[in-house]
Chains A and B, each alone.
Chain A
Amino acid sequence: MTKVESRNTYRTGVDENGHFGLFGGRYVAETLMPLILDLEKAYNAAKDDPKFHAELADLHKHYVGRPSPLYLAARLTAHLGGAKIYFKREELNHTGSHKINNCLGQILIAMRMGKKRIIAETGAGQHGVATATVCARFGLKCVVYMGAKDIERQKPNVFRMRLLGAEVRPVTQGTGTLKDAMNEALRDWVANVADTYYLIGTAAGPHPYPTMVRDFQKVIGEEVRTQLHEMEGRLPDSLVAAVGGGSNAIGLFHPFLDDPSVKIFGVEAAGRGIDSGAHASSITGGSPGVLHGNRTYLLQDENGQITDAHSISAGLDYPGIGPEHSWLHEQGRVKYVPITDTEALASFQLCSRVEGILPALECAHALAYVEKIAPALPSDHLLVLNMSGRGDKDVFTIAEAMGEKL
């Protein structure tokens, strides 16, 4: 077991075996171990290759539309009457979320490794769409595993993936949600090791995925740093982002971890409330365990069986969280807080009416927390929220929750 050492930086990343303190690691079957080690080598080589970075930067600019704007949400700020609220507009990226940042990075790695077939898991469908998109862009075969229950509640994204040429395979095992889709993707990978690359969508899974995905997402925080400096001449005071697996959050947080003046909040989905048991708050309502290749906070019973997560947001409906978040929680650097389905729905409607932006249900959780803290903060307090995805995909879910039939 790796000893947690006191550090003077939160940004050095993992040790050589892929651990963030107690968390992370490589808990995979032997068949996959050699692949994970190959991937680590390929990623390290790419990281040191200026050509790789140049290619990615070019795609960011011309294909994704980066940098995404940092937007002063003036009406929401006035409405809440406290902190000055900025949105990092990741929902304006090509494909409508931050997921494309990671997919572009990983597809370039996959091609460097000579892989011809890409597999992915998806919950809300945003990662599936982003993966299908980059596969279409580079002419690679794409198979997306998606829980049968998620297929039902995210029909528009399922159709988008098919339009992009991907095969969407429904997963009926278990609860038919994201965790089961991830199990099936891992099974596919074990059976097709020679030609297949597993493009994991969040900052979780076996090392090197959590670090690699974070590295591909940290462009979010790096841009915020520059943009806010131009607009306000200083660092933000608070950062707020929704956390399922936690890729959009770690992308925003990471460049600020060593700035002690910046308070950081990760918002977990509390579903029908932590006490109800029907939630997806791994940190607030879970405990450390081992699943999907890493040690991290999980929802589990007293026997170590994984329990069902619940959230109105399919993107947060996962019983685990990325290992770096678990570590940042235990270090006390990031505060993780729960927001319920009901609170998120109310914030979705507020943001839509006040700012003319339909936030993804994931981001509506982060917004709900901003609503809680902003009014008590001074008007010179700079708060940045990661608007990581757009809410168009969620309109059917929201209509149903509001009792309306479309």
Chain B
Amino acid sequence: MNAMTDVSSRITRRFAKLKAEKRTGFVAFITANDPTPDVFHEIFHGLPGAGVDVIEIGMPFSDPMADGPSIQLSSQRSLKFNTSLKDVFAAVREFRKTDADMPIVLMGYYNPIYRMGPAKFAATAAEAGADGVIIVDLPPEEADELDVHLKANHLHFIFLTAPTSSDERLPAIVTRASGFLYYVAVAGITGTKSAEEGAVKAAVARLRRHTNLPVAVGFGIKTPEAARTIAAHCDAAVVGSAIVDVIAKGLNQSGQPEAGLAQKVLAFVKSMAQAVHGGQG
């Protein structure tokens, strides 16, 4: 269809491998520089060893409208360090020095990208070693001005679909989407309601009638049990708020991370990854 279906991309290779191994993938979200640049670095670099199949890095924004309290606070913690897109790219570049295979998806809101310029954003993200982007407030109707630059730089444009996305609407989304399709399991903001198995199963089946792309399900997966249940019905499960909550709980009253926080977060990620991987086992 386009350059994005190129089998040589890290994302397509990873999903092909998962399929061959009959495993459901585990996508872990953390916000860049949360809770501090050092602890973030330790968590980020530890994720592959904890069983993560795709890493989503949050690009912090001052006004994250689609996010619940957990990810809002994580953005705020990150912005205390004036985290910019340049810092996010630097972290990805550093990660790539030791890991050439792990798919990395950047997730955020459009304004910082627009401010930098979509062309520069896409070129720098690709050069740093990112594989795709999810832009929460850029529906297909507004996606053209970024899409052209993502395509030019062989970056996947990963779109969100929601319980409210109708059958009439889905074709416009899936024709633009590449890499994988992200299904927002609950109508709501991140980290609040819980995803419901029956609804997710039906929704994923509906998406599969529109696309051959892998389907990742996120929003509302909080526990290993929930992860195991949802994983049985999709190609990958995404966990964000639950991981970020472990970070938040490991901060003292002045907001400083307690000793060993990164290891604690990675232990939780590992438990979630095992639950997901057991899903189709």
Chain A residues in the interface with B (C-beta under 8 A): 1, 17, 25-35, 173-174, 179-180, 183, 186-187, 190-191, 193-194, 287-293, 295, 298, 300, 302-306
Contact = CB atoms under 8 A, between A and B. Distances in A.
Given A27-B138, A292-B65, A191 B145 contact: no
Nearest to B112: A304
A1 B161 CA distance: 23
B63 A306 contact: yes
Chain B contact residues: helix, strand, loop or mixed: loop
Contacts of B67: 187
A191 B189 contact: yes
Contact of A290 (B64, B110, B139): B110
Contacts of A35: 164
Contact of B111 (A34, A174, A183, A289): A289
B217 to A, nearest CB: 14
Contact of B164 (A27, A34, A186, A303): A34
A28 B162 CA distance: 12
A28 B63 contact: no
A180 B84 CA distance: 21
A180 B141 CA distance: 25
Given A26-B139, A290-B114, A306-B111, A187 B65 contact: yes
Contact of A305 (B61, B162, B184): B61
A87 to B, nearest CB: 36
Residue of A27, A173, A180, A186 ringed by the most chain B CB atoms within 10 A: A27
Given A29-B137, A173-B72, A186-B65, A291 B111 contact: yes
B263 interface: no
B166 A303 contact: no
A179 B63 CA distance: 8
15 contacts: A26-B139, A29-B136, A30-B161, A30-B165, A31-B66, A31-B188, A33-B164, A34-B169, A35-B164, A173-B72, A187-B67, A194-B187, A287-B115, A302-B115, A303-B85
Interface in B63-92: 63-69, 72, 79, 82, 84-85
Given A190-B187, A193-B187, A303 B84 contact: yes
Contact of B63 (A1, A288, A291): A291
Interface in B140-163: 141-142, 144-145, 159-163
Contacts of B85: 303-304
A173 B66 CA distance: 14
A31 B186 CA distance: 9
Contacts of A292: 63, 65
Given A1-B144, A193-B164, A290-B111, A33 B63 contact: no
Contacts of A186: 65-66
Contacts of B9: none
Contacts, number: 121
A30 B160 contact: yes
B273 interface: no
Interface residues of B, number: 46
A187 B66 contact: yes
Given A191-B193, A290-B111, A27 B142 contact: yes
Given A34-B166, A35-B164, A290-B110, A183 B65 contact: yes
A304 B63 contact: no
Given A34-B165, A191-B187, A305-B112, A26 B141 contact: yes
A16 B82 CA distance: 38
A377 B210 CA distance: 65
Contact of A29 (B61, B79, B113, B160): B160
A258 B193 CA distance: 50
A27 B137 contact: yes
Contact of A191 (B61, B136, B161, B188): B188
Contacts of A306: 62-63, 111
A183 B189 CA distance: 11
Contacts of B162: 29-31, 34
B205 interface: no
A203 B52 CA distance: 45
Nearest to B114: A290
A190 B66 contact: yes
A290 B141 contact: no
Contacts of B61: 304-305
A207 to B, nearest CB: 9
Interface in B51-65: 61-65
Nearest to B139: A33
Given A30-B173, A191-B189, A303-B85, 10 more contacts: A27-B138, A29-B162, A30-B164, A31-B160, A34-B164, A191-B192, A291-B63, A303-B82, A304-B85, A304-B112
B163 A31 contact: yes
Contacts of A173: 69, 72
A338 B150 CA distance: 39
Contacts of B110: 27, 290
A145 to B, nearest CB: 12
Contacts of B188: 31, 190-191
Contacts of B72: 173
Interface string B82-117: 101100000000000000000000000111111110
Contacts of B69: 173
Contacts of B192: 191
B187 A26 contact: no
A177 B79 CA distance: 19
Contacts of A293: 137
A43 to B, nearest CB: 17
B170 to A, nearest CB: 10
A306 B112 CA distance: 9
A290 B68 contact: no
Chain B CB count within 10 A is highest, among A186, A193, A287, A291, for A291
Contacts of A33: 139, 141, 164-165, 169
